Every structure is written in C-alpha cells, then in structure tokens.
Amino acid sequence: MEMMDWLVSMPKVELHAHLNGSVRNSTLLELAKELGEKDIIVFSEVEHVILKNDRSLAEVFKLFDLIHILTTDHATVTRITKEVVEDFAAENVVYLELRTTPKRNDARGMTKRSYMEAVIEGLRKVDAVDIDFTYTEVRLEKKGKSCEMGNECDGISRKKIHVRLLLSIDRRETLEAAMETVKLALELKDFGVVGIDLSGNPKVGEWTTFLPALKFAREQGLCVTLHCGEVPNQEEIHGMLDFLPERIGHACCLEEDAWTKLKMSKIPVEICLTSNIRTNTISSIDVHHFADLYNTKHPLILCTDDTGVFSTSLSKEYAVAAAAFGLGKKELFQLARNAVEFSFAQEQVARELKDFFDLVEERLSLH
Ligand code: 6MZ
C-alpha cells in the first residue's frame, strides 16, 4: 500500500491513452441508463457488458462500439474529456497525450471538426487543476510555478497538467476519411494537436491504405505513432517499422527478425501491460517483452491504453511493472522522467517538465 501511495504521488507522463477507452464506469452506466430510459438501448443488456473485466481483443472492440453509442454527442464528448483529464491529473500525471478518433455522425449533426471542438471544449472546462493545452498559454507561462509531488510550492497549491492531443485514424476508415483527420489535425495545431495515431481493430483493414495520409502528416510536421504488432502480422509489422514512426504502441507479436529491426531502429515503444494481459495478447506478465526492452535500455514508456476498459490507472501500471520486474522507486521514477524525452511536446514544455522532475528528484533524494 505504501508503494501504491508513493506511485500515485510520483509525477508521471502518459503517452498512450484513448479518450473513449478511459471513460469512468460510473459515467458509462449513467449514460446507459439515460439511453435506456429513452428506449434507445436496453439497460439490462449493456450493464454487464460495461462491468465485465476480462475481455478478448475481439470483445474489446465490440465494447468500443457500445461506448461510442453512449458517448458520441457533443455534450458527452466534452464531459468525458474533462473527466478523463481530471482523473489523470488526480493521480499526478503532469503531461498527458490523449488520443481520440474524430467521428462523423450525421444523425447527431456531428462532423469530425465539431467532434474535436467538443473535445477542446472539454479541455477548457477542466477546473479541478490548472491545464495547459495551447501554444499561447505555454508562452505566457511563468516558469517554476508548479514544482513538487502534488505541486505545492511558492504558495501555489494547484496541480497542473499539460495536455496534448493525437488524432487517431481507425483502421475501419477510408483513405479519404483518414486524410480529413490529418487535415483537421493541422488546422488544430494551435489547440494542442501534436500528432497522428493509427489504431482500431488490428484484424481489420490494411495499414497501407493509410500510408499516403501518414506520409502527408509527416511532411506537414506532425508526429506519427502506430499500433504495431497487436496481432502476429509480420508483413505489416515490418512495413510499419520501415516507415520509422516516432513511436509505436504495443509491439507484442514480433518474430525474431522484426524484433531485431525494432531494437536497431530505437523507435520508442508505448507499453500497456494490463491491456496486453487482459486481452491475452501476451500470455502472462513474466514473458512480457517489457523485460527485454528494459534490460537492453530500449526506449519505452509505461502507458494505460484504456483505463476504463481495463480498470487500470497509470499508477497501477507502474505498480505492475514494479512487482513483475523488480523495479525500485529510483528506477520507476527514472522511467517516468524518461517518458518526457519520447513525448511529442514542444521543446519548451519538455524542458519545463524535465526541470520539474529534477526538482522532485532532489526533494526525494533518489540519487
Ligand atoms: C487498437 C484501440 C485499442 O478514439 O474513440 N483503441 N485500438 N488497440 C487497442 N488496444 C486494446 N484501444 C483503443 O477511443 C476508442 C478507440 O481507440 C482505439 C479503437 O479504435 C477504439 O474504438 P476513441 O476516443
């Protein structure tokens, strides 16, 4: 318990979190009840789906379809964005890269752009903590404002979180829809959008469909992260590694030559321990590739994937790593600090975060 408290209070960096996968169960149940009362869904049929804990990868994607029915109207998108950011801030995540798939929903008068405006509105509505999510705010910021575990110093007791957005392309989409997402990301650069993610059911579609959109994103200065190797599709894995994305997510099912290629490439890997175990993508924690990557000092970041769907938190992910791989406080802190290096944040934000980690490290005497 002492370790868990310590991990909650440790500043952390989250780089792989899907908005709709991170919704509180209580919120999902409340939304399901409302739709049940309007006869849009049958509440008793969805309650157990929301509360179920162990799901195969295929079941997870069915759950996302249900979650999207519950969440996809503008007011709800705004609500869940605010809640998700505040939940991460509550466990001392100081930098969050939140990813979400812009959705068009004609029945609700929603365009990809209006979906993203609702997300940004959610960021504006965050009030439990101070939030920075635009370039302008960063420039105006006074340095050294927030500075310790819990951020209480210089008489300022409010916590602060930096949030940046990644726009996801769903593998079910067309190239045209993916292009629209990349163009939207470029239009919203001043509202904290820093990159593009390719995600969705790994058994659906071909990643090469999206290559022109991903190349365009890169040419325009956006960072790219790809879900890579959630299923053992070696041809796709090799193609993705050859693309040299700025980061990849998961990297679970790499055969030896792909593994060697990954190691040589030094592409940082977003590791989602609980997600991989729950979906049975990795059979048990003691054979998880975290150990090899960590021991060979390959760039990696501990992430949650979907806190709601997998009933986890970033602090819990650090606790799982501590227990499974024998990491002590010093190593865990270093892991969190290193994540700043692999974020898509602008230089200035990264510098501010590194200064903050240094200050906390000094106070904790972890040297
Ligand atoms: C691949 C995943 C995922 O974008 O609607 N997503 N894609 N693998 C995973 N591992 C389990 N977890 C989440 O958030 C939900 C969407 O994120 C992607 C899926 O496309 C899912 O529909 P947003 O906010």
Distance from Cα 302 to the centre of ligand 1, integer Å: 17
* DSSP assignment of 170-208: ETTS-HHHHHHHHHHHHHTGGGTEEEEEEES-TTSS-GG
Is 136's pLDDT higher than 70?
no
Beta carbon of 122 within 6 Å of any ligand 1 atom: no
Which residue owns the Cα nearest ligand 1 atom 9? 200
What pLDDT, on a 0 to 100 scale, did the predictor assign at position 156? 45
Nearest residue by C-alpha to atom 6 in ligand 1: 200
What separation in Å is there between the alpha carbon of 117 and the centre of ligand 1? 20
CA 282 to centroid of ligand 1, rounded, Å: 18
- Of 59, 78, 96, 168, the residue with max ligand 1 atoms within 8 A of its CB, to mutate for a pocket test, comes to 168
Judged by DSSP in three states, 73 sits in coil
* Active site amino acids: 230
58-90 pLDDT per residue, tens: 889 999 999 999 998 999 999 999 999 999 999
Alpha helices in the chain (DSSP H): 2-9, 25-37, 43-51, 57-71, 74-90, 112-125, 135-140, 175-187, 211-219, 234-243, 256-265, 273-278, 290-295, 314-325, 329-341, 347-364
Give the distance (Å) from ligand 1 centre to CA of residue 316.
20
C-beta of 81 in contact with ligand 1 (< 6 A): no
pLDDT at 144 over 90: no
SS3 276: helix
Q: How far is the C-alpha of 231 from the C-alpha of 229, rounded, in Å?
A: 5
What is the spatial distance between Cα 71 and Cα 257, in angstroms, rounded to a whole number? 41
Q: Comparing C-alpha atoms, which of 215, 254, 252 is closest to residue 234?
A: 254
Contact indicator for 103, 200 with CB cutoff of 8 Å? no
CA distance linking residue 353 with residue 94, whole number of Å: 8
Q: How many helices (H) and strands (E) does the chain have?
A: 16, 9
With a CB cutoff of 8 Å and minimum separation 6, the contacts of 347 are none
CA 324, 330, 336 angle in degrees (round to 5)? 80
Distance 61 CA to ligand 1 centre (A): 8
| 352 in contact with ligand 1, CB cutoff 6 A | no
Among 14, 15, 18, say which to mutate for ligand 1: greatest number of ligand atoms within 8 Å of CB: 18
Ligand 1 lined by 309 (C-beta under 6 Å): no
Q: Check if 160 has its Cβ closer than 6 Å to any atom of ligand 1.
A: no
At what angle are helices 112-125 and 74-90 packed, to 10 degrees? 40
Q: What is the pLDDT of residue 140?
A: 39
Mean of pLDDT over the chain: 92
What is the pLDDT, as a whole number, of residue 120? 98
Q: Which helix (H) or strand (E) holds 131?
A: strand 130-132
Distances in Å between the Cα of 212 and the Cα atoms of 174, 177, 182, 186 are: 11, 12, 10, 15
Q: Which of 194, 173, 192, 31 is nearest to 104 (CA)?
A: 173
- Please state the atom number of ligand 1 nearest to the C-alpha of residue 200: 20
**Spatial separation of the C-alpha atoms in residues 25 and 309, rounded to whole Å:** 8
The predicted pLDDT at position 253 comes to: 97
Q: Extract the tokens encoding 107.
A: 């029945």
Per-residue confidence (pLDDT) for residue 49, from 0 to 100: 87
Does the structure show a pLDDT above 90 at 112? yes
**Predicted structure pTM score:** 0.94
Reported confidence tier of residue 319, pLDDT bands at 50, 70, 90: very high
Region 167-184: mean pLDDT is: 98
Give the residue carrying structure tokens 């890997």.
269
Nearest CA to ligand 1 atom 18: 200
Residue of 16, 64, 231, 236 to mutate, ligand 1, most atoms within 8 A of C-beta: 64
DSSP state letter for 102: -
CA of 30 to the centre of ligand 1 (A): 21
User: Residue 135: pLDDT band by 50, 70, 90 thresholds?
Assistant: low
* CA within 13 Å, CB half, 283: 1
| pLDDT digit string, tens, across residues 23-45 | 999 999 999 999 999 999 999 98
Question: pLDDT tier at 157 (50, 70, 90 boundaries)?
Answer: low
Burial (CB < 10 A; 0-12, 13-18, 19+), residue 83, is buried
**CB of 304 shorter than 6 A to ligand 1:** no
Half-sphere exposure of 240 (CA within 13 A, CB side): 32
Of all atoms in ligand 1, which is nearest to the CA of residue 101? 4
First CA to last CA across the chain, in angstroms?
A: 23
Integer Cα distance of 83 and 162 in angstroms: 15
Candidates 38, 93, 114; CA nearest to 69 is 38
Q: Is the pLDDT of residue 141 over 50?
A: no
**pLDDT tier, 134 (very low <50, low <70, confident <90, very high otherwise):** confident
Cα–Cα distance, 103 to 114 (Å, whole number)? 9
Range name among 33-37, 140-144, 278-282 with the lowest pLDDT average: 140-144
**Token match 């890579």: residue?**
228
Q: Measured from the CB, is residue 76 less than 6 Å from ligand 1? A: no
CB-based contact 185:169 (threshold 8 Å)? no
Give the atom of ligand 1 at the shortest distance from the alpha carbon of 279: 11
CA distance 244 to 222: 13
